[in-house]
A and B are shown apart, each in its own frame.
Chain A
Amino acid sequence: MKLTINGKEQEYTGEEDRPLLWYLREDLKLTGTKFGCGVAACGACTVLVDGEPTRACMTPAASLAGKKITTIEGLDTPAGKAVQAAWQELDVVQCGWCQSGQMLAAAALLTATPKPSEQQITDGMNSNICRCATYHRIRGAVARASEIMG
C-alpha cells in the first residue's frame, strides 16, 4: 500500500500491525521521530497525520494508506519553520530526545491556534513529556513562534 511521507510516496509492504514509528526509523532511516514509551503516553514519537498530532508508536503503518504523514524531517510549514526558529533562538533543547515530538505538537497547535493563550499552550503541549523539564522554555518558544508567524 502507498503512504505519503513528507510529500514522498512510499510503498509499505510490512506487517499489518507494525507501528509507523519502526517503519520510519528502521526502514526509511527517518530517525528524527523518537521512541519514548511505546504506549502513546509521552509524545516523543509524535508525527502529523493530515496535520493532526499522532503517536507513531501505536499507529500501525498499514492504517495510514492515503494519508499525508509529516515527520520532523519534513516539517516545512510556516508554523513548523517558526517553531524551529524559536526553539533555536531560545535554546530550548537539553538532551533533545523529546524535542521533535514537542516541535510537531507546537506546530500543530499554532496551525490551529496562531495566537494561543498561556492556557492554550499548556493544553496543547501537556501530552508531551520532557524529562529534562524544558517546559519553561517550551512555553516561551511557542509564544515566540507565534510572534514570528506574525
Chain B
Amino acid sequence: MADTATFSPSRRLVLTVMGLGAAGFAVGCSAGNTTTAAAGPVTQTALGDYVRIGSDNTITVYLRHIEFGQGVSTGLTTIVAEEIDADWSQMRFEHSPADDAKYGNPAFGGVMGTGGSTAIFSSWAQLRAAGASAREMLRQAAAAKFGVDASDVLLVKGKAEAGGKSASYGELAAEAAKITPPDAARLQYKDATAYEFIGKERDSSKGFGRLDSADKVSARAQYALDYHPEGTLTALLARSPKFGGKVASFDDTAAKAVKGVTDVVQISNGVAVVATDFWAAKKGRDALKITWDDSAAETRSSDQIFADYKKLLAKAGHDARKEGAGAAALRGAGEVITADFEFPYLAHAPMEPLNCVVEYKPGEAAVIHSGSQMPTADKGAAVAVLGLKPEQVSIVTMLAGGSFGRRATQDADLMMEATQIAKAINGKAPLKLMWTREDDIRSGKYRPMALHRMTARLNRDAIEAWGDRTAIQSIMAGTPFMPAGAADLSSIEGGFDIPYAISNITADVHWPTSPVSVLWWRSVGHTHTAYAKEHFFDVAAKKLGKDPVAYRRELLAAHPRLLGVLNLAAEKAGWDTPLPAGKFRGIAVHHSFSSYVAEVAEVSVKDDGTFHVDRVVCAVDCGIVINPDIVRAQMEGGIGYGLSSILGEAVTLKDGAPVQTNFFDYSVMRMAQMPKVEVFIVPSSEPPSGVGEPGVPPIGPAVANALLAATGKTYAKLPLGTKA
C-alpha cells in the first residue's frame, strides 16, 4: 500500500502532471508561513487513500471535493490534522484523482461530486478514521524505531517522542506505510475537549487560517483557465441564441479569414472557432454566419411562460403533502388570503467562466484539466466522446473560481463540448474551450423560473389552513439523477415540508417543460420555497396582528433547532428594541441541507421609496463546527449571494432568447449594497452539517418581511429592485 511518488520541490507550487496516465496535482498551499522546501526530491508516502506524508514532513490530504471557495481545502484538512496530531504548518491539500471506488461521495450514492453542502457532513467519519488510522501506523513505526512499546509513544505536533528520542512524521512515513492499518472499528478518536484545530478560531499570528489564502493572495493559485501549455489552441463555441435551436447551415469564410483562426468545426451544440489565442477565437466567432433551425426551440417570452404557469395552477398538481383536510380546508370560515409569487430564471455567474483544457492523443489517452465539480460524470462524457477506455482518461481537478452549482451538470455540457472539439481537430494541440461571460449568462442551466400560489385561511386567531401550489421546471427529471417516473420534490424542498404546526396543509406541484435548461443553483429549491413560505407567513401574521417572532415560536415548538436559531438571531438583533425612524426589521428561519439558519434584516427605507439593507444578524446551527471562521464566511457569502439575487438578478426571455448579456444588465450585487453581517453559531454536539448553501434561503424573505413591516405590501415579484 506504500504508493510512493516523487515530486520535485521546485515544481511543488505549480501544476504537476506525471505523464498521460497519471492524475492528481499539487496546488501549492501553505499555512501562512511558507517554508522553503529542503534540497533534493521530496518523497510522498501514502498512509491510506486520503493521507500522504512527505519526506519534508508535510502532510497532504486528498480532497475528493473541489475547492471553489467554500473552504473544503481547510475544513477537510482540519479533520485529518486533528486526528493525526499534526502541526498546522505541515498541512497541505490536493484534489484527488477521479476515482469513484476510492473517492466517491457517500451522499451521492458513491459518485464523486461536490454539492448539496455535503462535503463536511459526508467526510466527517471517513476523514477522522483516515487521520486516526495514519496516526496509529506512525505510532507503531515510532515504537519499532525507538524500541519501546507503542503505548509509550507520544504523538504531538507532527512528531513522535518516547524515552528522550524523537522523530518527525516525515522520517517515520516510509516505515509506517508497511504497517497493517488498524481495524477501523477499533480506532480511538480524540475527545472533543482535547481538540487543537476543530472548532478553533482563525489566528493569523499562529498561521492558523484558510489553507488556500496565501496562494490566492499572491496569485500563485492555479485554476483551470490558468493552465495553458505551450501550443494551446483556444476555442469559442457559437451556441443557439434560442434554447433548443440547431444549426441549419453556416458560412465560415469570414471566420477563417481572421488571423490566428486554425479551424472551424461543427459539434452537437453549435459551431466552434479554434484559434491560436482567445482574441483571434473571439473575432473568428463574431465573424461566423449561422442560420439556426428554431423548429424545436423555445419561442416564448418570460411573461408568456408565467401566464402559462398561471393556467396550470388552476388544476391540482402532483400531491406532495396533505395534513388534516389538506386543500379542502382552504375553503371555510374566516378570511382567505392568497398571493402568486413569481421567481425569474437566475444565472450562477461564477467569476471564472467555464473552461477546460483537453490534451488528447487519439486512440491513446486524454488528460483534462478542469474545475470539475462532478469528475465521474465529466470522465464518463470524455470517455464516451473520445472513444477511450476509462483508464485512458484522467481528469485533473483544478481550483475553480466559484460555481454555485454551475460546474455540476446533468449532461457534463462543458466536457461534452470540449472533447467533441478536441476530437474534431484530432488532438493536434491542447484544446482550451472557454466560455465568455455572455456565454455564461445566455446559455441556460438556470435556476428555474417558479410560480408559487400561496393561500392561507385565517380563522380563530390562527393560520388554520396553508396551501402552496407551484409550477416549476424539474431539474432532475429525465436525468441519470432520478429514476423514471419518480417525483422531483427537490423542486419544492423546504416548501412542501413546511415545519410550522398548522392543522391543515396542502402542497402540490406541476412540472412544465421547456427547452430552456435548468440546474441546481446555490440552495436549489430553497431559493424560492423559503422566500414564499417565510414571506407569506409574515403576511399572514400581520393580518392576524401577531409578532413574527412570537408566532414562529408558537408554531415551531416541536423543532428545537429551528427555535434555537430563531431565538438567537432575534436576541442578537435586539428584536424587541425599537429602531430609529425609517428603519425596519424582518426575520426568516429555514432548515436546509441538514442545517438551521435564521436571519434578521435591518432595512432603511427613504422618503423616495428606495431601500437599503443595512445590517443582517445571522444565527446558524450546523452541528459540530469544524472551522467557525469558515462557517461565518459561508454565511456572509450566502447572505450576499442570496441578497444579490433578490435585489437585482433575472434572466428574462424575449421570444425564447435571453435579454441579458453580461454584468452590466445581469445585475449582481456590489459592495455598496452589501450589509454589515454578524454571524452567531449555536453550540452543538450534533454531527456536522453543511454551510455552503443554508445561508442563502433566509435572506430574501427576511428583507421582504422588513419591507412588509415598512409598507404593509406583499413582495411577490422578484427581483425586488431598488424601491420598497
Residues of A whose CB lies within 8 Å of any CB of B are: 15, 17-19, 22, 25-26, 29, 31-32, 34-39, 41-42, 44, 72-73, 84, 87-100, 103, 121-122, 125-139
Measured between beta carbons, the chain B residues less than 8 angstroms from A95 are: 68-69, 350-352, 399-403
Give me 5 A-to-B residue pairs in the complex whose CB atoms sit less than 8 angstroms apart, sorted by A's number.
A38-B437, A39-B664, A92-B213, A94-B637, A132-B69
Instruction: Tell yes or no: B342 within 8 A of A by CB.
Output: no
Residues of B within 8 A of A125 (CB): 671
Within the complex, what minimum Cβ distance (angstroms) separates B448 from chain A? 20
Pick from A18, A29, A96, A130: contact of B279, CB below 8 A. Answer: A18
Q: Are A133 and B351 in contact (CB under 8 A)?
A: no
Task: Give, as a whole number of angstroms, the nearest-CB distance from B537 to chain A.
Answer: 26
Distance A19 CA – B438 CA, assembled complex (angstroms): 17
Residues in chain B near residue A26, CB distance under 8 A? 228, 277-278
Q: Which residues of B contact A44 (CB under 8 A)?
A: 351
List of A residues within 8 angstroms of B668 by Cβ: 129, 131
* CB neighbours of A134 from chain B (8 A): 633, 636-637, 640
Interchain CB contact under 8 A, A91 and B202? yes
A136 and B640 contacting across the interface, CB-CB below 8 Å: yes
Q: In the complex, which residue of chain A has the Cβ closest to the Cβ of B438?
A: A38
How distant is the Cα of A89 from the Cα of B223 in the complex, in angstroms? 23
Q: Which of B213, B217, B277, B402 has the most C-beta atoms of chain A within 10 angstroms of its own C-beta?
A: B217
Q: With a CB–CB cut-off of 8 A, which chain A residues contact B54?
A: none
Q: Do residues A93 and B402 form an inter-chain contact, with CB atoms below 8 A?
A: no
Q: Are B674 and A96 in contact (CB under 8 A)?
A: no
Quick one: which of A37, A90, A121, A139 contacts B437, CB cutoff 8 A?
Answer: A37
Q: Shortest CB–CB separation between residue A105 and chain B, in angstroms?
A: 10
Q: Are B69 and A96 in contact (CB under 8 A)?
A: yes
Q: A88-B214, A94-B637 are in contact. Are A126 and B670 (CB under 8 A)?
A: yes
Judged by a CB distance under 8 angstroms, whether B25 is at the interface is: no
Which chain B residue shows the least CB distance to A98?
B351
Contact A129 B676 (CB under 8 A): no
Chain B positions within 8 Å of A, measured between CB atoms, are: 32, 68-71, 202, 204, 209-210, 212-214, 216-219, 221-223, 225-226, 228, 259, 277-280, 349-353, 399-404, 436-438, 629, 633, 636-637, 639-641, 643-644, 662-664, 668-672, 674, 676-677
State the Cβ distance, B692 to closest chain A Cβ, in Å.
Answer: 10
Contacts of B663 in A (CB 8 A): 36-37, 39, 41-42, 129
Q: How far is the CA of A39 from the CA of B661 in the complex (A)?
A: 11
Interfacial chain B residues near A87, Cβ < 8 Å = 213, 217
Q: Which of B69, B644, B669 contacts A94 (CB 8 A)?
A: B69
Q: Is the CB of A137 within 8 A of B351?
A: no
Name the residue of chain B whose CB is nearest to the CB of A21.
B278
Instruction: Please name all residues of chain B whose beta carbon is closer than 8 Å to the beta carbon of A127 when the two chains form the complex.
Output: 670
Determine which of A22, A34, A135 lies in contact with B351 in the assembled complex, contact meaning CB atoms within 8 Å.
A34
Residues of A close to B226: CB separation below 8 A = 25, 31
Instruction: Give, as a whole number of angstroms, the nearest-CB distance from B285 to chain A.
Output: 12
Contact B279 A22 (CB under 8 A): yes
Looking across the interface, which residue of chain A has its beta carbon closest to that of B223?
Answer: A97
Chain A positions within 8 Å of B221 at CB level? 96
* Apart from A91-B633, A95-B350, A96-B69, 10 more pairs, CB < 8 Å: A22-B278, A26-B278, A37-B663, A38-B438, A42-B437, A72-B218, A73-B219, A88-B213, A91-B210, A134-B633
* Bound CA–CA A72/B644 (angstroms): 28
State in angstroms the CA–CA spacing of A100 and B225 once bound together: 15
Cα separation A8 to B221 with both chains bound (whole Å): 23
CB-CB under 8 A for A96 and B401, given A91-B202, A132-B641, A136-B677: yes
- Expressed in whole angstroms, the Cα–Cα distance for A63 and B449 within the complex equals 44
Central interface residue in B279, B402, B671, by most chain A CB within 10 Å: B671
Residues of B close to A132: CB separation below 8 A: 69, 351, 402, 637, 640-641
Chain B residues, Cβ within 8 Å of A25: 226, 228
* B671:A122 contact, CB within 8 angstroms: yes
Of the residues B351, B404, B669, contact of A97 by C-beta under 8 Å: B351
Could you tell me the distance between the alpha carbons of A97 and B663 in the complex, rounded to whole angstroms?
A: 16
Interface centre among A18, A89, A131 (most CB of B within 10 A): A131
A133 lies within 8 A of B640 (CB): yes
* With contact pairs A129-B670, A135-B671 given, residues A97 and B352 touching in the complex (Cβ less than 8 Å): yes
Q: Which of A88, A103, A136 contacts B32 (CB 8 A)?
A: A88
Contact of A88 among B209, B279, B437, B637 (CB under 8 A): B209
Nearest 8 A-B pairs (CB), nearest first?
A133-B640, A97-B401, A32-B219, A95-B69, A96-B216, A94-B69, A135-B674, A31-B226
Instruction: Say whether A133 contacts B644, CB under 8 Å.
Output: yes
How far is B353's CA from A39's CA once the two chains are assembled, in angstroms? 14
B671 x A39 contact (CB < 8 A): no
